[in-house]
Structure 1
Amino acid sequence: MAGMDIGVLLPTGTAQWGPSDDPRDLISFGRRAERLGFSSLFVNDSLISPRIEALTMLAALAPATENVTLGTAALMPFLRRPVQAAQSLASIDLLSGGRLTVTVGAGFPGRFGRPLYTLSELPWSRRFARLDETVALWRALWDGAGAFHGEILRFADIPPTTRPFRPGGPPVWLGGATPAALARTGLMYDGWLPYPPEPADYASGLRDIHRAAADAGRAGTDITPALFVSVRIDDDVESGRRALDGYARSAYGMPLEELEKIQAVVAGSADQVCERLGQYVAAGVRHLVVRLGSLGLPSQRDQLERAADLIPAVRAAADHTSRSGGS
């Protein structure tokens, strides 16, 4: 698979803002990222920590940007009524001229998982089956279906809904790296956006997805291999890790040494960060979604500029991997 996309996660959470930051500056932040050469802008989704609501942010970005992909990392559909969510997503795809990509997730155990389901008034059990049916419902509605009869979701006589810009609707990716998530990605999703701490884990997961896709009669090349990764570019690894530790404690309430056990984290000089990202590229990643490990919008903008300087080298690494017969 040739080509390399490099995107950035917008700092939509209040934990990432300084006292004098204006959230309306997120629009200019996204526009600056586009001008710097980033190919996508992503937002995340939660009801536990205060933030600009994900679909509201993407709707604001749609007319303010021109070419970048607009994505979720990840949207949790159980927080929204499924038919209403299909309408909202189709509307954003229309407003952006077909630039939407929707990564979805079902939540995970721990302090963020069950409380979200309590707020959504949905059962925790069978959450993965509900997620897959919700995506199937969206795709049916985007194709003009007037009814849907799933095992969990059933709707008859659905009135005409908004059709997206692209026939069939925007691509839908899945987050997660459990064996079941890998199998489901290969079976029915258009992309994969996990955050494994080690490149070797990414490579093995991608192989499992390709096997599952082949078993389902799909081509592995039809599934976009993406990575969600926290990045801090600093003078050296030690100073970068100190800054990321502050970020982790503010955003997650945990030290960096705990966060990096479950998520991909890269810190250091520009060369060190580029080398580590290159290992993920060699493992098969073709769309990086970079979360900038910094607090306050001025510091986020500084990290954005530094990260933009890495784009040519990361893309060159992807080209070299493709030419040498890598993933």
Structure 2
Amino acid sequence: MDIGVLLPTGTAQWGETDDPRELIGFGRRAERLGFSSLFVNDSLISPRVEALTMLAALAPTTDAVTLGTAALLPFLRRPVQAAQSLASIDLLSGGRLTVTVGAGFPGRFGQPLYTLSEVPWARRFTRLDETVALWRALWDGADRFHGRILRLDDIPPMTRPFRTGGPPVWLGGATRSALARTGRMYDGWMPYPPDPADYASGVAAIRSAGADAGRAAEDITCALFVSVRIDDDGDDGAERGRRAMDAYAQATYGMPLEQLEKIQAVVTGSAAQVRERLGQYAAAGARHIVTRLGALGLRSQRDQLERVAELIPALRAETEGSRAS
């Protein structure tokens, strides 16, 4: 079991006196506490430190953690330019990059971004899959690529990543089509379903599609993106935790917690309650959990980082125990 953390790169998560340069120290502290990975998310709608810039800054300042995106939106960037940037980060980090990608969603978190990027909304899933295929071809040294949407000839030599074939690429979607595509062509899966049972059915669908494509179950990493908030035991602690998570949901998405937890995995409560709920996802097949800390201000984020870190040994032990049984 790998446990990672999403860095609070968005200005909505910072306090008035917070210095964004503290994010480097935040990442280094997470690595020392035992987190396996540091992830960042990507957008043009909300102000934030740009995802690949953040990972480039972390590459030489961390030693062993995976550096990842959750999720990168490839349509925001020229495909060849993105391949070059990702290869460079993989090279600078010594092969520690993992790239989760997504195509965006209808509404303000999707269609307006396509307009700003001057990319058509139509056929977005085909464009996403072809972009990933183009990256892999370029990382292998190809000088041309002919897809249904992307067609490039006479591509000059570009930076090669640290690893042969380039960094693993995961998909963030959870639709029936996304599950089938993950099984066929992606290296991993990172959704955020509110119900562990839905996660388990997604894992089963991916493994079935992968088997049909001649792939083994271990070829595809099953990950989970989940918002987490740990507070003290008792009714007062639970209520404070939900109020804090509600403030986080309002600041980040402009929606109340009650609405957010219907569409995304959100876990709040005491340390024991959070461990139990995350353990349900682990039992459903999750092997890499990326936690988004439900706190506003870097000081509160660091407090939650310490609390979640205390759960890491138990979660790993439970996963190993379930595998052994």
State TM-score, norm by structure 1.
0.98
User: Are 1:132 and 2:160 an aligned pair?
Assistant: no
Structure 1 CA distance for aligned equivalents of residues 238 and 223 of structure 2: 24
The secondary structure found in structure 2 opposite 1:29 is: helix
- Quote the residue 1:303 is aligned against: 304
Structure 1 CA distance for aligned equivalents of residues 128 and 318 of structure 2: 35
Q: How far did residue 145 of structure 1 move?
A: 0.3
- Quote the residue 1:73 is aligned against: 70
The secondary structure found in structure 1 opposite 2:15 is: coil
Q: How far did residue 259 of structure 1 move?
A: 0.3
After superposition, residues 21-36 of structure 1 pair within 5 angstroms as 21-36=18-33
Aligned-pair Cα RMSD in Å:
0.6
- Quote the residue 1:153 is aligned against: 150
Structure 2 CA distance for aligned equivalents of residues 237 and 209 of structure 1: 35
Structure 2 CA distance for aligned equivalents of residues 43 and 257 of structure 1: 24
Structure 2 CA distance for aligned equivalents of residues 221 and 239 of structure 1: 40
What do residues 158-204 of structure 1 show as CA deviations (whole Å, max 9, x unaligned)? 00010000000000000011000000000000000000000000000
Opposite residue 161 of structure 1, the aligned amino acid is M
Q: How far did residue 111 of structure 1 move?
A: 1.6
User: Are 1:92 and 2:89 an aligned pair?
Assistant: yes
- Quote the residue 2:274 is aligned against: 273
Q: Is the 8 A contact 1:191 1:224 kept in 2?
A: yes
Opposite residue 307 of structure 1, the aligned amino acid is V
What do residues 56-98 of structure 1 show as CA deviations (whole Å, max 9, x unaligned)? 0000000000000000000000000000000000000000000
- Quote the residue 1:188 is aligned against: 185
Structure 2 CA distance for aligned equivalents of residues 24 and 222 of structure 1: 36
After superposition, residues 1-327 of structure 1 pair within 5 angstroms as 4-235=1-232, 236-324=237-325
Opposite residue 281 of structure 1, the aligned amino acid is A
Structure 2 CA distance for aligned equivalents of residues 103 and 265 of structure 1: 20
Q: Is the 8 A contact 1:239 1:268 kept in 2?
A: no
- Between 1:131-140 and 1:108-117, the stretch displaced more is 108-117
Q: Number of residues paired by the alignment? A: 321
What do residues 96-154 of structure 1 show as CA deviations (whole Å, max 9, x unaligned)? 00000000000011221110111110110100000000000000000000111111001
What do residues 212-247 of structure 1 show as CA deviations (whole Å, max 9, x unaligned)? 001111112110000000000012432211110010
Opposite residue 32 of structure 2, the aligned amino acid is R
- Between 1:215-224 and 1:5-14, the stretch displaced more is 215-224
Structure 1 CA distance for aligned equivalents of residues 238 and 314 of structure 2: 19
Structure 2 CA distance for aligned equivalents of residues 237 and 287 of structure 1: 26
Opposite residue 310 of structure 2, the aligned amino acid is D
Q: How far did residue 316 of structure 1 move?
A: 1.1
Q: Is the 8 A contact 1:186 1:220 kept in 2?
A: no
Structure 1, gaps ≥5 residues long? none
Q: After TM superposition, what 4+ stretches of structure 1 lie above 6 angstroms from structure 2? A: none
Structure 2, gaps ≥5 residues long? none
- Between 1:235-244 and 1:191-200, the stretch displaced more is 235-244
What do residues 242-294 of structure 1 show as CA deviations (whole Å, max 9, x unaligned)? 11001000110000000001000000010110010000000000000000000
